[in-house]
């Protein structure tokens, strides 16, 4: 299994985010996921553009900003010059996803589009050649600590099969509910990027957590 680990900052210590990012980076994590939620599309109100700008000065790692928000066009604009390497738009809250993806491409930002568990594969399949990364959520967005929904594995497998069959370079990210116990089966289903929060930042030390995950991978 050669899937890439991505650390979700929702599970980090919010009083010491830069410290946790640098610790995880020192242990081999090269990609960080920043959930931006607005308190409307999701119940939680989380990170904003200033955090992205500040982290850009602290790390050269890949910063993936996930916009799980309403009013996508207005909010997306504030992140275009933030230093984000990748911006993930939320399909279900975005009125014109193709327009948003085209804007990101214009700004040379890696494009990703995310789908909640209840969204069928037919919607995902349409975007396989529209974005650099397809993000399949294993939980409902905006709330940390949820358990991965096993039925999502079928969508991962279908996406991986379609990408291979069509000769695309699109990568699959899986976000939400990933643990040391299920990450191998998720990777085996076809996930290229494993977005993990509590499994990296909670419990034991970050160093021990990453070591355990790398051992499973």
Mean pLDDT, the chain, rounded, equals 93
Active-site annotation holds for 35: yes
The encoded tokens of residue 188 equal 């085996």
Sequence-distant (≥ 6) Cβ neighbours of residue 14 within 8 angstroms: none
Instruction: Say how far apart CA 164 and CA 80 lie, in whole Å.
Output: 31
Q: State both tokens at 157.
A: 């497998």
**Model confidence band, residue 203 (pLDDT cutoffs 50, 70, 90):** confident
pTM for this structure?
0.94
**175 belongs to the catalytic site:** yes
Quick: pLDDT tens for 165-198: 999 999 999 999 999 999 999 999 999 999 999 9
Q: Give the CA angle between residues 144, 171, 25 to the nearest 5°.
A: 55
5 has pLDDT over 60:
yes
Active-site residue identified among 20, 35, 38, 64: 35
* Overall average pLDDT of the 4-18 stretch: 95
pLDDT at res. 43: 79
Query: Would you place residue 214 in the very low, low, confident or very high pLDDT band (cuts 50, 70, 90)?
Result: confident
Q: Residue 60: which residues within 8 A CB-CB, separation 6 or more?
A: none
**Catalytic one among 20, 38, 64, 175?**
175
DSSP state of 182: T
The residue to which tokens 């991505």 are assigned: 6
pLDDT confidence of residue 89 = 97
Of 190, 191, 161, 188, nearest to 174 (Cα)?
Answer: 191
pLDDT tens-digit readout, 107-152:
999 999 999 999 999 999 999 999 999 999 999 876 656 789 999 9
What is the pLDDT confidence band of residue 216, given thresholds at 50, 70 and 90?
A: confident
**Domains contained in the chain, CATH given:** 4-216 (3.20.20.70)
pLDDT for 142: 62
Q: Which helix (H) or strand (E) holds 23?
A: helix 17-26
Confidence of residue 73 (pLDDT cuts 50, 70, 90): confident
Chain CA centroid to CA 137, Å: 8
């Amino acid at each position: 299994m050669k899937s890439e680990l991505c650390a979700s900052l929702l599970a980090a210590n919010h009083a010491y985010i830069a410290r946790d990012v640098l610790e995880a980076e020192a242990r081999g994590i090269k990609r960080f996921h920043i959930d931006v939620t607005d308190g409307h599309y999701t119940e939680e109100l989380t990170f904003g553009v200033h955090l992205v700008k500040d982290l850009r000065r602290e790390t050269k790692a890949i910063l993936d900003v996930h916009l799980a928000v309403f009013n996508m066009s207005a909010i997306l604009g504030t992140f275009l010059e933030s230093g984000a390497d990748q911006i993930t738009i939320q399909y279900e809250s975005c009125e014109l996803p193709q327009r948003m993806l085209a804007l990101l491409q214009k700004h040379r930002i890696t494009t990703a589009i995310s789908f909640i568990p209840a969204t069928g594969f037919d919607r995902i399949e349409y975007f396989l050649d529209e974005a650099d990364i397809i993000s399949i959520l294993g939980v409902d967005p905006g709330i940390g600590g949820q358990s991965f929904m096993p039925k999502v594995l079928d969508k991962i497998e279908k996406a991986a099969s379609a990408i291979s069959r069509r000769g695309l370079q699109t990568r699959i990210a899986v976000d939400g509910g990933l643990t040391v116990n299920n990450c191998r089966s998720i990777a085996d289903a076809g996930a290229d990027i494993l977005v993990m929060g509590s499994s990296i930042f909670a419990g034991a030390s970050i160093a021990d957590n990453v070591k355990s995950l790398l051992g499973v991978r």
